[in-house]
Each structure stands twice: as structure tokens, then as C-alpha cells.
Chain A
Amino acid sequence: MADFPKTADCVIIGGGIIGASIAYELSKKNIKNIVVVEKNTVGSGSTGRCGGGIRAQWSTPENVKLAMASVKRFRELEEELASVTEYEEGGYLILAHSDTEMNQFRENVLMQKKHGLEVEILTAEETKKIVPLINTEKITGATWCSTDGSINPFLINFAYMKNAMDKGVSLFTRTEVLSIKTGDSKITGVSTTRGEISSPVVVNAAGGYAGFVGSTAGLNLPLTPHRHEILATEQVNRFFRNMIMSFEYNIYFRQVKDGGIVGGQTNPGEKPGTEVNSGIAFLKEMSVKLNHFIPALGNVKILRQWAGLYCMSPDAQPILGEISGLAGYFHACGFSGHGLMLAPRVSVLMANTITDPSFSDPDLERLGIDRFEKGIVAHEKSVV
């Protein structure tokens, strides 16, 4: 590892998908001496613990547009980053369980179509055509978008970081930022477990810890980390390629390329916190739901369970860009359980705004932190 730097032009806190992708997009710009500081290792946070799903079927226009633009980037990234990422457009099936829910979905679909997304409304029989082994007993219908899909989160996280490093970015793992240094309403650097780095620009991409990291600069960011559990089964012959989701019954699961089923839920009563331990209640509740929706999974064995953090924002949409009164501070946090899929677009927007003060983009502006003072524009409802 190189000597620990005393100065940088930009310090990025966090080596998850958000930090890595911003480092990569910044490295393509006219900015030298970019340093990524990561407390543990690349992908050790939420990114390496997530479900790998990618979808543009959201309920707010911002999320739909960011996700659609990200899908466009995902299609280019394997080649651009010269890395296998297991990116696949297997589709997302979002189940509806009542006419009321179906009507809500119709509204979402109208909005999504307005933005150019190809999404369809399916009957229960049509749903069964996509996943023949599904039990339609409690299914009224579904929405289906075939360009939604999935990616291997580890591979894309490392691919971004490796390419950033090849372009000159320095990465320091097992190095924790203790505080962000400020003076005169501007950023002056960071203090870490390996020494101080002075820098005019700091990017807070600390995932579940972004609220804490921001607080060291005197910021009170409206973020709450929540533990989310997830499991993987043994590999079985692949019988579906898409993600299956139900908001009503609080579950998502997909069959990854090698055949394992990966899925999770939002635990009932989960309190805010940064613990990522595992529990038996989750295993049992998930088993009941998997067994209900795909009875054939009954004999399949669960191999592994783990947990990670959702960094929730008040409207379940990310918080992006700068903050007034603290020049040189930028953040990309509060992804509320969908940061992996938004990273390709968010990182481009962030790199643009960091390097060009006159850069403007409607999504970036609407997702600025000042939206909470101005009044929240829309609340993202489609979260499990």
C-alpha cells in the first residue's frame, strides 16, 4: 500500500458501490489525487450484503428516472470496466393481492410509462406463465418489466474500484474516518485512524454510517440505519430468472445465476440501529412465505443467512449533492434499500456536480437535502 497521503483534491468516505462508482466517474474527469478511505474492505458494507436486484418500477418519478438511466449504464459497464458482472435483464414481477393494490399499481405504471419504461400489467394466469411454479392463490395480478434485472454486487463494486485505481485513485482500506474537518463554513479535510488528510472536497458515501459521519462535520442528516436480513438457499436447476416481489406480503426473492434462491423481508418491529446480526425468526418467517409462493421450494435447503443496513431517508429516496453553508461537502446517501441499482446514474451526476459548480440536473436538484425544508415532493412507497 502506498504511503498515507497528507493532502488530496478529493476524499471519498466509503468503498461500497456508491464510493467506488463516484471514484471511478471522478477519475475520468480533470481531477487528480482522489483518495478513497474505507473502514473495512471494499464491499464489506451494505453493498456486499444486498440482494443484487435492479428495477425501474418505482412509485416516484425521480427513482424511475435514476433507475432507467442506470439500466442504460449497466448495459455498457461490463465492457467499459472490462469485468464480468453477471448483469442480466431477467425482469421483475411485482405481485398485487387485491383490486385496491392493482389500482395503485395502475397509477404507478401510467407514470412509469410516461417516462418511457416498458412495463405491463398481468393477470394471475399471465403471471404463472412467467413463473410456472408460482402459487397464484393470493395473487390478483402483477406488474412486469422485462428490462429490470440483477447483477452480482461484489463483482460490480470491485470492478468500479479496480478501474478507478487503474486511473490513479488511491484506496486505503481498514482506515476509518474519525471526523470531517471544517473551518470557515468550508471543508478542510478528514481525520482518520491513520492520520489527517487535508482536502477541499469530501464526499460522504458511508452507507449506513453516513448520518454518523455527517454529524462529525456538525450536520444533522435525517438518516436512520435499519437492519435487513437476507438468506440464500442451495443451488437448484434454474426455473426462473426474475425477481419476485410483494409489498403486501413483505418479501422479495430471486434465483441467482448459479441456481441459489436469494431473498429477504423487512422484519416486523425492527428498531433503528447498526447491528447486523442474524435471527431464527427471520428464517422461519421467510420459509413460510417461500413455501407459500413456490411450494416446490419446500425441499430446498437454506444454506446461509446474513444481514445488512438500509440507510433510510424520510421519503425513502436518496439524498444527493451539496449542502448550503459547508463548501466542499457532498453526499450520496439515504438510499433506503436501493442504492446498488441507482449507483451508475448517481455517480455520474455526483462527479458532474463535484467538478462543475454550474452543473444542473432536475433529478439532482429535487433530491437535494433542502427538499425536506421546502416540503417533501413525493414519498417512495414501493419498498420492501
Chain B
Amino acid sequence: MKDMKIICRCQDVTEQEIVDAIRKYNLTSVDEVKRLTRAGMGHCQGKTCRKLVEQILFRENGFLSDEDTWSISRPPVKSIPVKFLAESEEPFDAVVARGRGGQHG
């Protein structure tokens, strides 16, 4: 059975799962914990759990990695419905007519 102290409510990730991942893979940053456990990947995008994960990392490792002291969350800041964004743009044919990028076709 899972232990009951939930750190990331959106993705249902417990403290024990985070601690296990940190110890198993010698993790040192919030981003690594996020990639391995999904803590911070849910609806609130880490707004509540990010600081908690930092605290757990600090407790486990005795230091906080540089990137955690200034790292930013991913955009968009608030989740947006696909339709809302689609309606603020030109229609499908106009969008796909913009072509592609880079050297590859």
C-alpha cells in the first residue's frame, strides 16, 4: 500500500515515492524529481508541491542545486482550453499555409 503523505495532489505522488526516487537515482533537482515521479506535472504545474519537493531534496542531500533557486515554471501560467486558443487564431487552412521551418521539409 502507498504511504499516505501526498506531496503532489494533482498527480497523486507521495513523499515516499519522491524520497525513493531521489535515493535510487541520486537526484539533486526539482526538475529531475518531476521527470521521474511526475510531481509537478499536473493541473497546478507544481504551484503547491514545488517548494515541498525542494524541501525534501534539501533534507535528503543537504544542499539545493543552483537551478532550483531561480528556475521558472513552464508556460502557460494558467491552463487554457484548446478551443479558446484556436478561436484567437486564423482558420486551419491559413495556419497550415504558413509552411514549416528549418532546413527540413
Contact = CB atoms under 8 A, between A and B. Distances in A.
B43 A234 contact: yes
Interface in A267-295: 267-272, 278, 283-285, 287-292
Interface in A346-384: 381, 383
B74 A287 contact: no
A41 B82 contact: no
Interface in B54-105: 65, 74-76, 79-86, 88-92, 95-96, 98-105
Interface string B14-31: 000000000011001101
Given A298-B83, A305-B74, 14 more contacts: A41-B28, A41-B32, A162-B24, A224-B102, A226-B101, A226-B102, A271-B102, A278-B74, A285-B89, A288-B86, A288-B95, A304-B45, A304-B74, A312-B104
Question: A-B pairs with the 8 shortest C-beta distances?
Answer: A270-B101, A298-B83, A287-B85, A301-B79, A154-B35, A291-B86, A284-B89, A287-B86
Interface of A: 41-44, 48, 154-155, 158, 161-162, 173-174, 224, 226, 232-235, 248-250, 258, 265-272, 278, 283-285, 287-292, 297-306, 310, 312, 316, 336, 381, 383
Contact of B102 (A43, A233, A272, A300): A272
Nearest to B11: A258
Dominant SS among interface residues on chain A: mixed
Given A155-B36, A283-B85, A306-B74, A41 B101 contact: no
Contacts, number: 132
Contacts of B86: 284, 287-288, 290-291, 298
A293 to B, nearest CB: 9
A162 B25 contact: yes
A316 B104 contact: yes
A306 B101 CA distance: 17
A224 B98 contact: no
B85 A284 contact: yes
Contacts of B74: 278, 304-306
